[in-house]
Amino acid sequence: MASHSPLRFKNRLFYALLAAGGLVVLMGAYAVHLMEDQGHIITGMNNQIVWGVPHVFAIFMIVAASGVLNVASIGSVFGKTIYKVRAPLAGLLSIALLSGGLTVLMLDLGRPERVIVAATHYNITSVFAWNVLLYTGMFSLVVIYLWTMMERRMNPWSKPAGLAVFAWRFILTTGTGLIFAFLTARQAYGSALLPPMFIVLSFAWGLAVFHVVQTVIYAWNEKTLDPAILQRKKNLLGVFVIGSLYMVATYHMTNLYFAHQTGFERFILLDGGVYPGLFWWGYIVFGNLLPLLLIYVPGLGKTRCVMAASLLAILGGFALLYVFIIGGQAYPLNIFPGYQASSSFGDGQIAAYQPSRYEFMLGFGGLAIAFIITTVSVRVLNFMPQDKPYIAD
């Protein structure tokens, strides 16, 4: 009987985790109920900062949902075996993150009960409306892709399905970037650099999320990842982190080069209160430099280090999005170039934003939805990567 007890313990642990996740979802639901009842007054969002912490969570999850598919694409499209066996897990994570992110985005609407209107009334010029199609399309495509991989008879179709997913997720992240890129009037946004920046960011964040989940699954099943595979995957993460750092740097550099946007860059990078701190410490140091050290310094780069690097990269992602979304709105719109403006509606002033706990409850509720979908699916279906003895390809 003694040999059964670890199994029983794991069983209990599984249900405990599920209950914890459920509790966080319930907290999110409670926050939504209050927001429905009392309005957005209970959040920190206002007429100047119209998108807040829920959007940081939602956009992170949506971007990561697209990026995590990278693992699948390298397998299906480029035919790398060690990635191919990880494709089902990647697809699952994509669906989980997308569900979490979209739930948050939808429940933050002023009129969430009317979300069906987004399907019945469709404005073709709106990037948001395109994204409604892109998200639902991605969802169904990934489901089909998973089906082609997990149902043996459908296996021959997994390559075309993988190709379709590969193309679709590029367009999807482009769409996410375009939400901001089309806001020409605002200094922080309105740049053609944003869609590619979001694509590269998605690579890094998606892979980081994948690493975290994979490490946990291996630990749960008391297996160890082949060091050679770990080596390859951590190097890939390193490359993606460097790539995203490059894109973010380029974005700020181009802003600095446009004379009328130096004021905004000064605000974000130097004297904007919480935003420069979050950018330099949160994103640059903890989100990039530290993970790179953990990955590349000789002697480091073992399982724990890669796990830590991935978690840090995820935190860095949140910090960057906070600075990008909220900092970008906090800096005043330049409605009258050449004039100093003041008014009762925040013209010429830095907008104040104090996120409320309900926003965080909603955001974490979304993360918990992704967590529950992943945990339950990994338990009931076979998403565990099955590696053959490693052969370099």
Partner 1 sequence: MSDTNVQRRQFLKTSVGAAAVAIAPGMLLFDMAHGKSEAVSSKVRWGMLIDTANCADGCNDCVTACNKENGLSGGLSPTDSQWIRKVELKDMRSGREVSLPMMCQHCEHPPCVDVCPTGASFKRADGIVLVDKHICIGCRYCMMACPYKARSFVHEPLHDQKPDVPRGKGTVESCTMCVHRVDNGQQPACAEACPNKSILFGNLNDPDSEISRKIRTVASTQVRADLGLNTGIRYQGI
Answer for which of 18, 129, 144, 315 binds partner 1 (CB under 8 A) is 129
Residue 259 found at the interface with partner 1 (CB under 8 A): no
**SS3 label, residue 313:** helix
Binding mask of the shown chain, residues 63 to 102, with x at each position contacting partner 1 by CB under 8 A: ----------------------------------------
Establish if 137 lies at the interface with partner 1 (CB under 8 A).
no
Considering only 51, 139, 220, 251, the residue that binds partner 1 (CB under 8 A) is 51
The residue range among 13-21, 92-100, 119-127, 220-228 that interacts with partner 1, by the rule CB under 8 A, is 119-127
| Contact characters 173-202, partner 1, x per CB under 8 A | ------x--xxxxx----------------
- Give me the least distance between CB of 190 and partner 1, in Å please: 10
- Residue in 1, 4, 5, 125 binding partner 1, rule: CB under 8 A: 125
For residues 303 and 291, give the distance between their C-alpha atoms in angstroms, rounded to a whole number.
13
x/- map, 21-50, partner 1, by CB under 8 A: -----------------xxxx----xxx-x
Residue owning tokens 């397998």: 75
SS3 350: coil
Contact 287, 313 (CB under 8 A): yes
254-275 burial, b for 16+ CB within 10 Å, e for fewer? ebeeeeebeebbebbbeebeeb
CA dihedral 312, 316, 318, 319 (to 10 degrees): 140
Contact 205, 63 (CB under 8 A): yes
Q: Are 165 and 145 in contact (CB under 8 A)?
A: yes
Instruction: Find the helix or strand (DSSP H, E) in which 62 lies.
Output: helix 53-67
Site residues (CB under 8 A) for partner 1, limited to 313-332: 329
> By CB under 8 A, which span of 10-18, 110-118, 210-218, 369-377 interacts with partner 1?
110-118
Residue 126 touching partner 1 (CB under 8 A): yes
Residue 55: other Cβ atoms inside 10 A:
22
Q: Which residues bind partner 1 (CB under 8 A)?
A: 38-41, 46-48, 50-51, 109-112, 114-115, 117-118, 121-123, 125-129, 132, 179, 182-186, 329, 333, 335-347, 351-352
